[in-house]
Every structure is written in structure tokens, then in C-alpha cells.
Structure 1
């Protein structure tokens, strides 16, 4: 589904990614772990075209490196950014409608699905998105991305700064996404969520992949956790 090979990325003269290579199969949930600042978010941005990628990024066997973000999105690759890019002056309903690729789109997700998963969004459907709480905005961002009916969705720190109840709701949505056969690339600090839903894990350190394996393999490798995750 997604193949990243020898990916490099830069911010100005700063070399952030140093030959990142990994893959995600159809229907697979993969978590990208690591301490803050190791390049996890930059990896997703480079795949999506928000940061210029150097290397190969193939989505469903098509090279997408060099395409613009909207072109990549139309190919079926969804992206939920960490900074919750909602449209504050539009209503919740209008934000969700903007997530659709086509006005009369019929796909795996409907607005009714979004309201069923997160009833709070239905309660605030005609409220301006800018007055929502941080947790509600995170819910809206994820649901808007799903309205585009992606085949793979990249989600960057979905539970950052959320209350425990909201974290639980986000976790349920991730499981719902996986249950519908959609691949997920998850960047997440909370190991409990990553370990619960992931098929495989990658750990990043200093802009490189330093570990790849299953959840049991990760749990058995105490050195990786000590060297690259624990503070």
C-alpha cells in the first residue's frame, strides 16, 4: 500500500530525515514511535508533500514524491495533522462536508457515521468550529479526513493534550477505522494505544528507523525501549 525508501528531508540547512525506509500493507495498522524531535512528524509531512521529500514514496505502486498535497489526498491518502487544522469560521457540518472529495460522494463513511461515533459533533453540528474544545476539534479533524474516504490515513499525535475520556474516544475511532479495512500510520506518544491496535511498530531515532517488528518483538526488546523511548 505505502512504500517509503531512502527518504530524506530538510528544514532549511537542517537535515532531519536520514534515509528513512518502511512500508505499510493493505489493512495494516503501523505505529511510528520515538521521542519528540526525532523526525516522526516530518516523515508524515514529507509523505504528504507538506515538506519536500528526497527519496521514493510509492502509494499503491505509484510514485507520489513530488506531487502536491491535494493531489496526494485525491489518490486516497488521508492526513490528520497534529495542529488540528479545522476551519474556525465554518460550522462543524460545513467542516465535515469539506472533507468530501466530491459533493455526491458515496464511500465507507457518511456524516451519519461521524455523528454516531461522536454524538457530541452532532450536538454541535451547526456551531462554529472555532469555539469547540481542543478534544472536539481533534475529533472533528479526524472525522473530516475520514469523510474523504481514504484507503490509508496518517494520524499525527491524535491524543496529545486530551482528557482521558477523549483519549478513550479517539482510541475507539482508531479501532473503528481499522475494522473497516483502512490502513493506518499512527504517530503516537501513548504506548498503550499504539501497542493495543498496531500490527507492527517502527521506532525512530535521530531521523532514522532503529527498530522494526511486531508488538511482541517490541515488548521483548528492552534495549530499544531504554535507548530510544524512555526518558
Structure 2
């Protein structure tokens, strides 16, 4: 399998605080990979560093080219999408205007159209003329996921998409992730809910104290009670 995203020896800092300690991680073409771990271990820092939002050292290669040091908008234009945990919607614009803003300019051959978004999340179509700021948390999460897709990424990094959502919406997010895989979009999923990650991923990483402490298949993680107890369970 060809690696779309290949992170090697990544170190990152917030001021004098050393957050990432030589992280290695890869995501292959058409693969869903989950990054698990407790809050505060560096998972969000990893995806922000890959997206050019946190200064870091080491190597981040995307589609074979080094992207560490590029600006976030340059990285996005290369086909790496990012859905932040805080959703970052444009509150005063309608849901549909938010989606249209996500489109790459001069891209006519993308995999996704507005109709695709509405087919995936019919609730968004019902609420398409509503200001994004008054949508529910679940609707805002759907909107953020879909807006990222409108840029037609080859790989999308999604930070805690199910945080604070009702179980019914969590199930919709899981369907969304499977739909991405079926269209050939790779996913790096930062997630705390073990069940959803193990159900949809081909491989999983577990992070602890800014380093990778486990890499393997969902089946291997299910079988490794010691890793789950030490690094995942509350």
C-alpha cells in the first residue's frame, strides 16, 4: 500500500513545553487510521503540526513530498484536509454558504457536490438556509465535515468528530467515514471513543505522553488488555 501521509521523527513544542517526542505515523491510500489516547497526550498537536499550524521538527511527507514548513493553506491545496475539534464554522453565513466556501476554486472534477453532502446528511439540506451559528452541535459537526470534503481532499484528518454528540449523530458520523473510504479518501481519525475507532479502522495507533505506545490492527488492540488499561481506560 502506498503511504499518502508519512510522519517520521516528529517533535513539537508549545513554548518550552516539549509535546511530541519523535512520533512516527503513516496513513496509506484508501485507509482509515485511528489515533487514540487520553486527552492531553499530544494527538491534536500531531494533526496541527502536520497541517502547518504548530512549529515542529522531523519529517511530514504527503504524496511523497515534504510539507513540514509549508503554510496551512498551501498544505490544503495539495489535498490534505483538516477538521478541527472546535469546528470553526462561519456563524453568520448560512449552512450552504459555508459549504460553498469549502470548494476549491477552478475544480470542476471533484468527487463531491452539494447534492452529495445533502444525500449524506439530509438534515443539512433542511437547514441549508439557516445561519450556521444557530445550528445544533450535531448539525455544526456535519457542516464542518462536509465543508472539508467540498475541497476534495485525498486525505482528511478529523479531530474528535463525535465529542459531545448524541449516539444517533455518532452513528451518522461513522457512516460518513465509511462513505469517504468508499470514495477513495483516506482518513486519520483522532478519537476517544474506542468502539467507533475499532469498528471502522484498518489500523490504530495509541499515543501516550507525546509518543506512540502501540501500533497495530483493531483486532490486536482488542486482544491487548494491558495497553488498553494503561493508555486508554479512565
TM-score relative to the length of structure 2: 0.97
Q: CA RMSD in A?
A: 0.8
- Number of matched residues? 231
Pairing 1:140–2:146 present: no
Q: Secondary structure at the match of 2:220?
A: helix
Q: Secondary structure at the match of 2:100?
A: helix
1:144-163 to structure 2, matched below 5 A, reads 144-163=147-166
2:8 paired residue number: 5
Pairing 1:39–2:34 present: no
Pairing 1:194–2:197 present: yes
1:165 paired residue number: 168
1:60 paired residue number: 63
CA distance in 2 between partners of 1:65 and 1:35 (Å): 26
CA distance in 1 between partners of 2:107 and 2:186 (Å): 24
Q: CA deviation at 1:105?
A: 2.9
CA distance in 1 between partners of 2:183 and 2:55 (Å): 31
Q: Secondary structure at the match of 1:65?
A: coil
CA distance in 2 between partners of 1:137 and 1:106 (Å): 26
Q: CA deviation at 1:54?
A: 1.1
Q: Secondary structure at the match of 1:226?
A: helix
Distance 1:2 1:104, change over 3 A: closer
1:225 to 209, 219, 228: 228
- Stretches of structure 2 that go unaligned for 5 or more consecutive residues are none
Q: Which runs of 4+ in 1 moved over 4 A?
A: none
- Stretches of structure 1 that go unaligned for 5 or more consecutive residues are none
CA distance in 2 between partners of 1:104 and 1:214 (Å): 36
Q: CA deviation at 1:106?
A: 2.7
Deviation string 1:181-213 (CA, Å, 9 cap, x unpaired) is 111000011111100110000000000000000
CA distance in 2 between partners of 1:52 and 1:97 (Å): 30
Pairing 1:77–2:85 present: no
2:118 to 115, 119, 124: 115
Deviation string 1:26-59 (CA, Å, 9 cap, x unpaired) is 1111000001100000000000011112110000
1:48 paired residue number: 51
